[in-house]
Chains A and B, each alone.
Chain A
Amino acid sequence: QVQLVQSGAEVKKPGSSVKVSCKASGGTFSSYAISWVRQAPGQGLEWMGRIIPILGIANYAQKFQGRVTITADKSTSTAYMELSSLRSEDTAVYYCARAEYYYGSGSMDAFDIWGQGTMVTVSS
């Protein structure tokens, strides 16, 4: 069974960048899309963007356009999320999540597998 294993917690200064990794253990990305979802302390879930690794195409939520970059390395089945110009409001747990992707329609299914989460703290 595929697991998504994320990199460890990060503490960053305001204005800096953070890059979080998500490796598919026990399998590959195959035909799936990998999304990034964040959760601020005590808050709900917020979708940030996705990548379709087999196509190398990434899409971003409007809120994060220009500040987030999602990439993938097919050879190592690892996805990355880089968030720049960090501010205190970016303090959150960042999750990667897998969903079936349908090439014909460009649609995705529900998120069936999630990484364990990576805590990113932005503090001066």
Chain B
Amino acid sequence: AIQLTQSPSSLSASVGDRVTITCRASQGISSALAWYQQKPGKAPKLLIYDASSLESGVPSRFSGSGSGTDFTLTISSLQPEDFATYYCQQFNNYPPTFGQGTKVEIK
């Protein structure tokens, strides 16, 4: 199975900061990568699919980029509601796999 490694595992940031999270795949997955946001006690929410496509209703401060093995999720200006854990997931190869998560905390 394809392994996804996210970095960092956690970060502290302030409101208004630009935040970047990286996801590296153990082999090429084209652009078949998604990003999810999860808040405590809630189900994950799809933010980005196909590496860079913004899911309907998701604020434009979220963006994704990359292809092959290296991907990034960027939050251009962190808002209070963005403090959460973020996961990447690949759907190019079976079985689908997730990264270990990146927790974004308030500085």
Interface residues, chain A, with chain B CB atoms under 8 Å away: 35, 44-47, 59, 61-62, 95, 97, 99, 106-112, 114-117
- B35, closest chain A residue (CB): A110
Q: Secondary structure of the A side of the interface? A: strand
- Counting CB contacts under 8 A, is B55 at the interface? yes
Q: How far is the CA of A114 from the CA of B45 in the complex (A)?
A: 8
Q: Judging by beta carbons under 8 Å apart, are B34 and A47 in contact?
A: no
Q: Judging by beta carbons under 8 Å apart, are B94 and A111 in contact?
A: no
Q: Judging by beta carbons under 8 Å apart, are A108 and B46 in contact?
A: no
Q: Judging by beta carbons under 8 Å apart, are B91 and A107 in contact?
A: yes
- Counting CB contacts under 8 A, is B62 at the interface? no
Q: Judging by beta carbons under 8 Å apart, are A44 and B43 in contact?
A: no
Which chain A residues lie closer than 8 Å to B89 at the CB level?
45, 110-111
Q: Judging by beta carbons under 8 Å apart, are A108 and B87 in contact?
A: no
Which chain A residues lie closer than 8 Å to B91 at the CB level?
99, 107-110
B39 nearest CB across to chain A (Å) = 12
Q: Secondary structure of the B side of the interface? A: loop
Q: Judging by beta carbons under 8 Å apart, are B44 and A111 in contact?
A: yes
Q: How far is the CA of A114 from the CA of B34 in the complex (A)?
A: 14
Q: Judging by beta carbons under 8 Å apart, are A111 and B98 in contact?
A: no
Q: Judging by beta carbons under 8 Å apart, are A95 and B101 in contact?
A: no
CB pairs A–B below 8 angstroms (25 shown): A35-B96, A44-B87, A45-B98, A45-B101, A47-B95, A47-B96, A47-B98, A59-B94, A59-B95, A95-B43, A95-B44, A99-B91, A108-B91, A110-B89, A110-B91, A111-B44, A111-B89, A112-B46, A112-B55, A114-B43, A114-B44, A114-B45, A115-B43, A117-B42, A117-B43
